[in-house]
């Protein structure tokens, strides 16, 4: 997907990665892979900032309402960007009738049912057990992508995903168990939360060709409102103060920017690869806590760091290229005129690159390295 240089992303800060997209550098396999993986890495980086960022801010906000505030301010900030861009009508015009069902399903599963299952589940299970079970999200995401949505995968990706999940499991050894016994209900609810997010990740892939800021904005607003209402019914009450604004800024960066990059990554490298890289966020959060909060370096953290680094290497060392055929396809997304976009322009199409307009891909057969992005959904024998 060529929307890596999109204006909304430039507005919220990843231009420092753009040098890797130079054509000469892309002749290197690792740099080609890194170029496509950078949105997922960026998503994990910003999301990993939430835990240490929350520790720097107020400890007095109730958890469900705090999650609601972060999601709501993420959506609000992204919506403000949409308004400042003055092309919100263009973003909405790209939405097709078939896209609404995927957007509604993703919002319900990822923004409403997932947090609800998690909120009630953690009341029936210890914190350490909950942290352990939350690693099921990456597993569910990959399994659903591979065996239901038929996303192509290779042995290296399986090895990499396995090592990253093992790293997550190792990191949970740092958690201290809460008092009380774990219940089957608690395990089930946390499992359903991870399943909801796993389906959400795969469903969002189907609308990753849309404006990622638009999709992330509405998901944030709906998820934030739902969590705030849920927190109210759980008896949580918020007092107006500077803490709300601080949490809002953290939510915009840690959830808003992260979600935009995550959606871009879904269309660039596929769901399973994005989910695996995104699951490195806990180790990033722990590393930031050690660097800036002066927390101690533990053995579980060191082990997790090695495992995740090895898993990341397996992903970045992937070299998947073969002869394949592109079928006729008509869609709209941000792009540049590369080998996949050799179409003619009308007088009404936008000037400059990257640009966005409805265009048609004709039947084409060629060979090159690629990922299961929105242009490479072919079968493998």
Three-state secondary structure readout of the chain: CCHHHCHHHHHCCCHHHHHHHCCCHHHCHHHHHHHHHHHHHHHHHHHHCHHHHHHHCCCCCCHHHHHHHHHHHHHHHHHHHHHHHCCHHHHHHCCCHHHHHHHHHHHHHHHHHHHHHHHHHHHHCCHHHHHHHCCHHHHHHHHHHHHCCCCCCCHHHHHHHHHHHHHHHHHHHHCCCCCCCCCHHHHHHHHHHHHHHHHHHHHHHCCCCCCHHHHHHHHHHHHHHHHHHHHHHCCCCCCCCHHHHHHHHHHHHHHHHHHHHHHHHHHHHCHHHHHHHHCCHHHHHHHHHHHHCCCCCCHHHHHHHHHHHHHHHHHHCCCCEEEEEECCEEEEEEECCCCCCCCCCCCCCCCCCCEEEEEEECCEEEEEECCCCCCCCCCCC
**How far apart are alpha carbons 23 and 35 in whole angstroms?**
11
Average pLDDT on 349-358 reads: 67
For residue 181, the model assigns a pLDDT of: 54
For residue 149, the model assigns a pLDDT of: 84
**How far apart are alpha carbons 76 and 54 in whole angstroms?**
19
Domain spans of the chain, in order of start: 38-322
Q: Check pLDDT > 60 for residue 18.
A: no
Question: Could you give the C-alpha distances from 64 to 70, 112, 378, in angstroms and in order?
Answer: 10, 12, 42
Mean pLDDT estimate for the chain: 77
For residue 7, the model assigns a pLDDT of: 46
58 compared with 162, residue with greater pLDDT:
162
Q: What percent of the chain has pLDDT over 90?
A: 13
Q: What percent of the chain has pLDDT over 70?
A: 72
Among 277-281, 324-328, 339-343, top mean pLDDT goes to: 277-281
At 217, the pLDDT band (50, 70, 90 cuts) reads: very high
Q: Check pLDDT > 60 for residue 251.
A: yes
Q: pTM to 2 decimals?
A: 0.75
For residue 369, the model assigns a pLDDT of: 61
Average pLDDT on 279-306 reads: 81
For residue 267, the model assigns a pLDDT of: 82
For residue 77, the model assigns a pLDDT of: 95
Q: Check pLDDT > 70 for residue 80.
A: yes
Weakest mean pLDDT among 128-137, 141-150, 209-218: 128-137
At 276, the pLDDT band (50, 70, 90 cuts) reads: confident
Q: Which residues in 86-107 are b (16+ Cβ under 10 Å) and which e?
A: eebeebeebbeeeeeebbebbb
Average pLDDT on 183-211 reads: 88
Average pLDDT on 91-106 reads: 87
């Amino acid at each position: 997907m060529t929307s890596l240089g999109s204006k909304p992303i430039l507005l919220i800060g990843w231009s420092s990665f753009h040098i890797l997209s130079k054509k000469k550098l892309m002749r290197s396999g690792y740099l080609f892979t890194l170029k496509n993986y950078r949105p997922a890495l960026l998503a994990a980086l910003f999301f990993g900032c939430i835990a240490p960022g929350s520790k720097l801010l107020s400890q007095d906000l109730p958890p469900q309402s705090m999650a609601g505030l972060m999601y709501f301010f993420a959506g609000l900030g992204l919506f403000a960007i949409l308004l400042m861009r003055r092309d919100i009508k263009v973003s909405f015009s790209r939405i097709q009738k078939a896209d609404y069902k995927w957007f509604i399903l993703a919002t319900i599963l990822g923004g409403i049912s997932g947090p609800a299952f998690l909120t009630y589940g953690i009341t029936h299970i210890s914190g350490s057990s909950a942290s352990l079970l939350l690693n099921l999200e990456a597993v569910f995401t990959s399994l659903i992508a591979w065996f239901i949505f038929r996303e192509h995968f290779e042995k290296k990706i399986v090895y990499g995903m396995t090592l990253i999940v093992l790293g997550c499991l190792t990191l949970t050894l740092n958690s201290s168990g809460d008092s009380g016994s774990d219940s089957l209900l608690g395990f089930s609810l946390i499992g359903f939360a991870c399943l909801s997010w796993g389906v959400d990740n795969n469903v969002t892939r189907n609308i990753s060709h849309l404006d990622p800021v638009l999709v992330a904005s509405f998901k944030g607003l709906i998820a934030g409102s739902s969590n705030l209402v849920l927190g109210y019914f759980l008896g949580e009450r918020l007092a107006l103060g500077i803490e709300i604004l601080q949490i809002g800024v953290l939510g915009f960066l840690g959830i808003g920017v992260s979600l935009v990059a995550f959606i871009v990554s879904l269309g660039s490298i596929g769901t399973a690869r994005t989910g695996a890289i995104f699951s490195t966020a806990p180790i990033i959060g722990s590393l930031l806590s050690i660097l800036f909060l002066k927390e101690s370096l533990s053995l579980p953290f060191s082990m997790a760091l090695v495992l995740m680094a090895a898993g990341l290497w397996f992903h970045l060392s992937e070299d998947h290229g073969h002869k394949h055929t592109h079928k006729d396809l008509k869609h709209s997304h941000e792009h540049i005129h590369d080998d996949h976009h050799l179409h003619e322009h009308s007088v009404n199409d936008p000037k400059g690159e990257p640009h966005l307009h409805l265009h048609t891909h004709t039947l084409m057969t060629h060979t090159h390295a690629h990922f299961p992005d929105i242009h490479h959904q072919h079968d493998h024998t």
